[in-house]
Amino acid sequence: MTFELDAVLDAVGPRLRALRTQRDLTLAEVSAASGVSVSTLSRLEAGQRRPNLELLLPIAQLYDVPLDDLVGAPPTGDPRIHLRPIEHQGHTAIPLTRRPGGVQAFKMVLAGDARCTEPDLQVHEGYEWLYVLNGSLRLVLGDNDFVLGPGEAAEFDTHTPHWFASADGKTVEFISLFGRQGERMHVRARPQRGGHSGAGR
């Protein structure tokens, strides 16, 4: 597993360099648009800096590509380790990790008709981070009701009553990272501008 992870991370640099070259951008231009320093971008492309979500999220948004394209994540997990999709009530969870404990990663695909369901808020141990790839995700957190679009992220303590589904009746895809209580991601929740606050309460 360590060898496979290293191989995936080693491939990120060449992908970043190829995307920048295809768009005819300089390191300085990418830095100015993404907020990632020139030196960090250069080290990422050269494989001298280990990529992480804080660095890859703004770059993926700048290049307008899904996050899983940057890391080469297959659509149904790596067949060599038999990561199989889990189907449940119109939702598909594709595990991207299999190690016990620590942060677990999933690609989630929610059927469009999920929005017809009245919010059924749940609570449990842990901390969750979401990043929307495609579609519009409705996220209810306690008394707050957000709509997140592609490129937007949210993080929350799962002790907070929560529920999510498609916001517009169309399929929505997002990455979900879930960790034990206290294992927080280093990004901030932000509701989409124009989202409907207070709906469904």
- In DSSP terms, which residues pair with 162 in a beta bridge? 122, 141
Q: How confident is the model at residue 7 (pLDDT cuts 50, 70, 90)?
A: low
- In this predicted model, what pLDDT tens digit does every residue of 152-177 receive, in sequence order? 999 888 888 998 899 988 889 999 88
Angstrom distance (rounded) from CA 132 to CA 54: 15
Tell me: the pLDDT tens digits for 76-127?
Answer: 444 444 456 676 666 788 877 765 556 778 888 988 764 456 788 888 777 8
Specify the pLDDT at position 83: 55
Which pLDDT belongs to residue 186? 41
Q: What angle, rounded to 10 degrees, do the helices at 53-63 and 12-22 form? A: 30
Supply angle C-alpha 137, 105, 34, rounded to 5: 65
DSSP state of 197: T
Output b/e per residue, 93-125; b: 16+ Cβ within 10 A. ebbbbeeeeeebbbbbbbbbebbeeebeeeeee
